[in-house]
Amino acid sequence: MPTPRTTAVRKGRTREPILTMSNIGKHFGAVKALTNVDFWVNEGEVVALIGDNGAGKSTLVKLLAGVHAPDAGRIQFDGVDVDIPSPADSHALGIATVFQDLALCDNLDVVENLWLGQELRNGLSLDEVEMEERTWMLLRELSAKLPSVRTPVASLSGGQRQTVAIARSLIGDPRVVILDEPTAALGVAQTAEVLNLIVRLRERGHGVVLISHNMADVMAVADRVVVLRLGRNNGIFNVADVTSETLIAAITGASLSPPMPATPHTDRTPATPDDTPPPEGIVSLVGRGRGRRGSTGGTR
């Protein structure tokens, strides 16, 4: 069996969309959960996916996680059309999803949680030394602070547990990491730790999808924000050019924004409003300036 990698360096890549969803539709019986939704994630980019309760955020993510199949539309990974019929297929493509319940085993320690189901072996026995070493390496790379990797996760704080869940998702070296409300249950200091971790993920070159209801978190770490409302796109914004009031207005449907293209960009320079007419139904306030953090290539 191939050894799962904990770290990977892919230098010299350009910032390109890893994952593109176009015209996605999904209904559950009479409920139209998603209609004509466009969404994409670039390398080394944090995309916040926001919207009110029932807007369709979890449904969109579940299509990527292989939990549900879309009824309409197209999903492309590295420019190639893909189906994601199961969670195993999602994982194999390079998509890792950290759901809100984290699914950690409380009685197991940090190392055991990270490698559960993908243990490293040395002959017939488990290679505990190698697993522990790689765990430390990964946590160091993420600048994560844990008292010990041999502590049962039951004794860790909420933020530390989130850290373990995120670190575990990186085993196997996913290209896209999806985090569902990672700071929802956390205090101020723990939230800061998790936001810091998200920045590290971006620096490693992962495309990060952050589902959040917290505008402060979104403004702090996201590069781009995709707003869903009633199962449809209701804005794609560069964080550098938007206020949380505008985002809230887009969530609630109060915004009247100039329409903008919603095609994937290969760097952080947004297209100008006059370049291309937007697909119907897309509104956005993407500005003309570069994102706050410039446009350097991914670091992996």
Ligand X SMILES: Nc1ncnc2c1ncn2[C@@H]1O[C@H](COP(=O)(O)OP(=O)(O)OP(=O)(O)O)[C@@H](O)[C@H]1O
Quick one: 18 or 33, whose CB is closer to ligand X? 33
Taking CB under 6 A as the rule, does residue 125 contact ligand X? no
| In the complex, least distance from residue 54 CB atom to ligand X, rounded to whole angstroms | 4
Residue type, 258: P
Taking CB under 6 A as the rule, does residue 53 contact ligand X? yes
Quick one: 31 or 92, whose CB is closer to ligand X? 31
Backbone torsions φ then ψ of 2, nearest 5 degrees: -65, 145
- Whole-angstrom Cα distance, residue 166 to residue 56? 23
Evaluate whether 64 touches 90 at the Cβ level (below 8 Å). yes
Evaluate whether 17 touches 264 at the Cβ level (below 8 Å). yes
Q: Closest CB to Mg ion belongs to which residue?
A: 58
Interface characters, 45-84, with Mg ion (x: CB under 5 A) = -------------x--------------------------
Q: Residue 212 is encoded by which pair of tokens?
A: 């959040």
Q: Write the DSSP symbol of residue 291.
A: P
Interface characters, 12-31, with ligand X (x: CB under 6 A) = ----------------x--x
Q: Residue 148 is encoded by which pair of tokens?
A: 């010990």
Residue 125 binds which entry of Mg ion, ligand X, none, CB below 5-8 Å type-dependent: none
Interface characters, 5-44, with Mg ion (x: CB under 5 A) = ----------------------------------------
Backbone torsions φ then ψ of 176, nearest 5 degrees: -120, 130
Quick one: 99 or 136, whose CB is closer to ligand X? 99
Residue 298 binds which entry of ligand X, Mg ion, none, CB below 5-8 Å type-dependent: none
Q: Write the DSSP symbol of residue 154.
A: G
Note the helical H segments in 33-187. Answer: 57-64, 87-93, 110-115, 128-141, 158-170
Taking CB under 6 A as the rule, does residue 57 contact ligand X? yes
Quick one: 47 or 131, whose CB is closer to ligand X? 47
The SS3 call for residue 199 is: helix
Quick one: 72 or 192, whose CB is closer to ligand X? 72
The strands making up 224-229's β-sheet, listed across from edge to edge, are 95-98, 176-180, 207-211, 46-50, 224-229, 232-238
- How many residues lie near ligand X (CB under 6 A)? 11
- Whole-angstrom Cα distance, residue 192 to residue 144? 11
Judged by CB under 6 A, which stretch of 56-64, 143-151, 159-167, 276-284 contacts ligand X? 56-64
Select the residue interacting with ligand X from 17, 44, 51, 291 (CB under 6 A).
51
Give me the residue label for tokens 């209801």: 213
Q: Applying CB under 6 A, which residues contact ligand X?
A: 28, 31, 33, 51, 53-59
Q: Applying CB under 5 A, which residues contact Mg ion?
A: 58
